[in-house]
């Protein structure tokens, strides 16, 4: 039986470094399930692995798309499954890494058979978004599905539109719709989560944002202003800077909002992962050694 080792954890906790260490140990390759790192124009704001890191181990699904490309989670599930089948012909082990919870779930469990978007629902929700803002969509989701509200990226309007549409169509919460595993995979999955005290996570996030600014995030975001309404750019690190560019916010305020919204996302990740029962947790300060010791016992 082949084994997929899935490295998970909050934003900024060191998943890339651990995934590379594990992949080098097993002489294998890495599949990314970070939905923001698919897009080549967003390297800085998504903390895409550096050229040096990418040179250490072969990565897949990093910078393989343009922000102008449409790419669904359903297409990713199909592409990732095909890539893993290819990798497992050469290797007994592959590594999956990323903080996009639903994308990891799609790879290790498959996708639920959710209905296609309802055009009338989408139009109605888009009108609400235009007239009352994203806050109204957030409140609607909170009323309809408090559990998913605690997990979803609340600053991504497309995720909110999709969830509400599905709830309206199925008369079940989005959480209920995605609860069951769809198909049995033909590989074993070992999930390794990196844990740290919450104050450490928040401190690392703040430091990462400062590093992104030093690395040129403002210029990167400015180069993408023409595409600011596209789905990939409805995300933390870019939406805040777009408000700086249009004069709504100062740069200092926008940077603090990036930090705050990144911390909120980390909190949602923690909420999601704490409900999962099959994660082996390792300490962030010694993650590779603990992971290899663990894998030696269970593989």
Please give the Cα distance from 102 to 269 (Å, whole number): 11
pLDDT at 226 over 90: yes
Please give the Cα distance from 43 to 262 (Å, whole number): 16
Q: In order of start, what are the domains of the chain with their CATH numbers? A: 2-112+180-298 (3.40.50.300), 119-174 (1.10.20.140)
Task: Look at the block and give the residue holding tokens 């870019």.
Answer: 238
pLDDT at 180 over 70: no
pTM of the full structure: 0.86
In DSSP terms, 96 is beta-bridged to 6, 31
12 is in an annotated binding site: yes
Contact criterion met (CB below 8 Å) for 245 and 84? no
pLDDT at 184 over 80: no
13 is in an annotated binding site: yes
Please give the Cα distance from 239 to 114 (Å, whole number): 28
14 is in an annotated binding site: yes
For residue 71, the number of C-alpha atoms closer than 13 Å in the C-beta half-sphere is 22
10 is in an annotated binding site: yes
In DSSP terms, 65 is beta-bridged to 39
Q: Which among 196, 266, 241 has a CA at the least distance from the CA of 44?
A: 241
Task: Look at the block and give the residue holding tokens 């605690």.
Answer: 150
Q: Write down the pLDDT at residue 59.
A: 98
9 is in an annotated binding site: yes
Task: Look at the block and give the residue holding tokens 């593989």.
Answer: 299
Q: Write down the pLDDT at residue 183.
A: 66
85-116 pLDDT, tens digit per residue, is 999 999 999 999 999 999 999 999 988 778 88
200 is in an annotated binding site: no
């Amino acid at each position: 039986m082949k084994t997929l080792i899935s490295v998970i954890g909050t934003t900024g906790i060191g998943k890339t470094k651990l995934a590379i260490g594990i992949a080098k140990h097993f002489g294998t390759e890495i599949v990314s399930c970070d939905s923001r790192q698919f897009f080549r124009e967003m390297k800085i704001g998504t903390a895409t692995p550096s050229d040096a890191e990418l040179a250490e181990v072969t990565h897949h699904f990093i910078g393989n798309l343009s922000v102008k490309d449409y790419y669904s989670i359903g297409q990713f599930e199909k592409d990732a499954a095909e890539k893993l089948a290819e990798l497992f012909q050469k290797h007994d082990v592959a590594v999956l890494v990323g903080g996009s919870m639903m994308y990891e779930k799609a790879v290790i469990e498959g996708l639920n058979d959710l209905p296609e978007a309802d055009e009338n629902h989408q139009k109605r929700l888009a009108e609400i978004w235009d007239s009352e803002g994203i806050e109204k969509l957030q409140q609607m989701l909170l009323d309809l599905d408090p559990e998913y509200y605690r997990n979803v990226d609340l600053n991504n309007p497309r995720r909110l539109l999709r969830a509400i549409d599905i709830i309206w169509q199925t008369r079940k919460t989005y959480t209920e719709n995605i609860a069951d595993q769809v198909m049995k995979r033909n590989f074993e999955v070992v999930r390794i989560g990196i844990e740290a005290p919450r104050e450490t996570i928040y401190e690392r996030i703040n430091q990462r944002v400062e590093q992104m600014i030093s690395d040129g995030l403002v210029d990167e975001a400015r180069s993408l202003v023409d595409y600011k309404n596209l789905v990939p750019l409805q995300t933390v690190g870019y939406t805040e800077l777009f408000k700086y560019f249009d004069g709504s916010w100062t740069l200092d305020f926008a940077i603090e909002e990036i930090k705050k919204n990144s911390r909120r996302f980390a909190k949602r990740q923690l909420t999601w992962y704490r409900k999962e029962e099959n994660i082996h947790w390792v300490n962030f300060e010694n993650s590779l050694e603990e992971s290899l010791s663990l894998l030696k016992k269970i593989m």
